[in-house]
Chains A and B, each alone.
Chain A
């Protein structure tokens, strides 16, 4: 009996040893990996990871594929996981690039955000969208705030059909919701409504539910839902470039410190005409290079 107990303890010990050993090994590997990255300057080879925002993921993935086709020795691994994951991974040094829908200052503590360098690779525009049967085409900002805070509960109050308003929100942690709240609702707290964690589902629900209103990035507008004008301004790329339409956000790719090696090459490629002029509009984003205005982390807009 005693020997059996001893055996169990021994096995658990061995197991723990193995786990710790593995951890040690991977640490070593990572060091080596960083070294090879530092060695090569300008030569696009090695391997990096870009983790985070699922809204930005399709663009980064596609750009990475094109980049790897041109630089066969480079390996860029793109993963989703959400903006929060991206920011914390890059701040901890677990990932080379952290993709995010929001400024790092909005999610991380000042100390954590300090070391991060922001690369604004593109802009995402968002529109308030309604069920196709709602006859309202244009809302003022105040009306939009009243709808989302629950003051307006029926579409007839603003000249639409006699249908109850149904709010369809993204989760509180979503970057799209944060952007919409900040720039469309001027920070007003939304009333509770249906919440869904993907834009595709939000579109489906708004399309099917009479009286539904929500918000979507431009890339999700496909005619199955109706995008509203805000204060008479069409939600369109040109109006965002000039700063006339306020609901938009940068897509960020953060690095810890100035990027070097492959990370720098890839980020340069993201800002090149090749990506900005073709890939970015193709996938429904707005090129950062076209913007005539800029916005800081506090939301202040200024001419470029």
Chain B
């Protein structure tokens, strides 16, 4: 009897260990694959890292005799950064305020109505967001604000709606997790509800809120489809929010099927993928640091 139990115990632990190592192997091999493909641009195609990161000249199909291929991804890198930062700029304040409302102001109907609404927002597929943006937002901007409609503005508006659920739910969770005594103590000291929220709850939940914002930023940075449909995909650095532009993700999706594996053009797409991967690793590290600091306090 005891032996049997012992056997099951070992079996269970072996099984979980197997699953855990499967995930590790998967992650490591994906990172290895993308890195090896992405580095090929610099090693076998002779493109300098400097040119790739800081040049806007993108002529991947130009023959060697005419000075090509030139693979400068700066306009796309800037495009990705701009569209994500603007999106977070809108969603972070909005999302945190909604989270406070959800937890502190109207916990009753907030959780009955607002929570499902936010979850629904998270469940809408990105292609649908893109299609709505293309059909409603782009013509609206063209007719009422100016420019051609396909623009940085359309891109970050669509993105800001898409990352809102992430920011709201992570923020709400972190506010919910605070010790109820802090709130009680603050109120007992005579602080109003506004003072309690502003001076006690939000500062105490700071690391959770920052995590929420970084997660939103990471999602915005990696989003491809919806953004691609509304930004116009023009390889230039936008000088106004009404200019069309291009992101790393949209550059990859537009060209991946029609370029041949092993060519400098295709390798450059992998290098862009590598940049995306490094950025998300950076975001994850950032979150870990923030969370650790929060715990330390």
Contacts and interface: CB of A to CB of B under 8 A. Distances in A.
Contacts of B234: 192-195
Contacts of A166: 148
A88 B261 contact: yes
Contacts of A80: 257
Contacts of A205: 150
Interface stretch (B17-25, B82-90, B100-108): B17-25
Name the residue among A16, A196, A204 with the largest chain B CB count within 10 angstroms. Answer: A196
A86 B139 CA distance: 36
A240 interface: no
A209 B147 CA distance: 11
A192 B265 CA distance: 18
A82 B254 contact: no
A204 B258 contact: no
Contacts of B262: 88
Interface string B232-265: 1111100000001010000001111111111001
A173 interface: yes
B134 interface: yes
A30 B21 CA distance: 30
A82 B258 contact: yes
B142 interface: yes
Interface in B208-238: 228-229, 232-236
Contacts of B142: 209
Contacts of A174: 258
B150 A194 contact: yes
Contacts of A294: none
Interface residues of B, number: 36
B258 A173 contact: yes
A85 interface: yes
A197 interface: yes
A15 B255 contact: no
A84 B257 contact: yes
B61 interface: yes
A108 interface: yes
B110 interface: no
B149 interface: yes
Contact of A107 (B17, B246, B253, B260): B260
A11 B134 CA distance: 49
Nearest to A11: B21
Interface in B139-188: 139, 142, 148-150
A208 interface: yes
Contacts of A81: 257
Interface of A: 7-8, 11-12, 15-16, 54, 80-85, 87-88, 107-108, 166, 171-175, 192-197, 201, 204-205, 208-209
Interface of B: 14, 17-18, 21-22, 25, 60-61, 134, 138-139, 142, 148-150, 228-229, 232-236, 244, 246, 253-262, 265-266
Given A82-B259, A173-B259, A195-B234, 15 more contacts: A11-B14, A11-B21, A15-B21, A15-B25, A16-B25, A81-B257, A84-B257, A84-B258, A84-B261, A85-B257, A88-B260, A88-B261, A173-B265, A192-B235, A205-B150
